[in-house]
């Protein structure tokens, strides 16, 4: 079994901005867990544990996407509740193009026989996990930032390796708006 998901690779300029915000969070929440900046991504679809025999099918799905370039914008903080503390993320402005790509990917996955997630698509980039928010007001005390662009051109099929020091992602296939890879 392999833990698989589809995600958007992020440009270095945006990664730098996100890393600066993450460094501010490190000072504010020293006991939280922080993913390495090189692992930042926007998840499009999570397949979870997938039999190795399905890998070629999963690769064909991403290779058939041919996404258009996406001009996204990071604009706000958000959280997801978890037992050990909140997941803290940067959210994206609504994007019809991103929604269209997500629906196309979901359709192709369903056609290929992969189960779809039931939760609503919430495009985001996770900056911290196990954040011990002391009160409901804590999110209002997060570092302020000006919205910044997040141009994305590549959809990747990624394998997640869960390690004690944090997840590591291995790109298994990708498709770019510049040219299929």
Domains of the chain: 2-176 (3.90.1140.10)
Q: How far apart are CA 133 and CA 138, in angstroms?
A: 6
How is the beta sheet containing 70-80 ordered, strand by strand? 124-131, 86-92, 70-80, 148-152
Q: Catalytic residue at 16?
A: no
For the chain, how big is the Rg over CA atoms in Å? Answer: 16
Q: How many CA atoms lie within 13 A of 123 on its CB side?
A: 26
Cα–Cα nearest to 20, from 87, 96, 90? 90
Q: Is 76 a catalytic residue?
A: no
Which candidate in 41, 76, 102, 161 is catalytic? 41
Q: Please report, in tens digits, the pLDDT of each residue of the chain (181 residues total).
A: 999 999 999 999 999 999 999 999 999 999 999 999 999 999 999 999 999 999 999 999 999 887 789 999 999 999 998 888 889 999 999 999 999 999 999 999 999 999 998 989 999 999 999 998 766 656 668 999 999 999 999 999 999 999 888 889 999 999 998 654 4
Q: Which of 16, 76, 102, 124 is catalytic?
A: 124
pTM of the prediction? 0.92
């Amino acid at each position: 079994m392999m833990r698989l998901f589809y995600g958007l690779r992020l440009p270095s300029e945006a990664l730098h901005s996100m890393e600066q915000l993450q460094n501010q969070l490190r000072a504010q929440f020293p006991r939280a867990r922080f993913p390495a900046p090189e692992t930042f991504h926007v998840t499009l679809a999570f397949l979870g544990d997938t039999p190795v025999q399905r890998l070629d099918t999963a690769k064909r799905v991403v290779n058939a996407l041919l996404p258009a370039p996406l001009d996204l914008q990071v604009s706000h903080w958000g959280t997801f509740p978890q037992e050990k503390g909140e997941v803290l993320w940067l959210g994206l402005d609504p994007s019809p193009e991103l929604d269209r790509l997500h629906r196309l990917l979901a359709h192709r996955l369903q056609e290929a026989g992969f189960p779809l997630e039931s939760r609503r698509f919430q495009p985001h980039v996770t900056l911290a996990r196990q954040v011990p928010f002391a009160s409901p007001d804590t999110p209002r005390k997060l570092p302020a930032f000006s919205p910044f662009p997040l141009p994305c051109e590549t959809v990747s099929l990624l394998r997640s390796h869960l390690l004690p020091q944090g997840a590591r992602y291995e790109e298994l296939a990708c498709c770019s708006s510049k040219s299929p890879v």
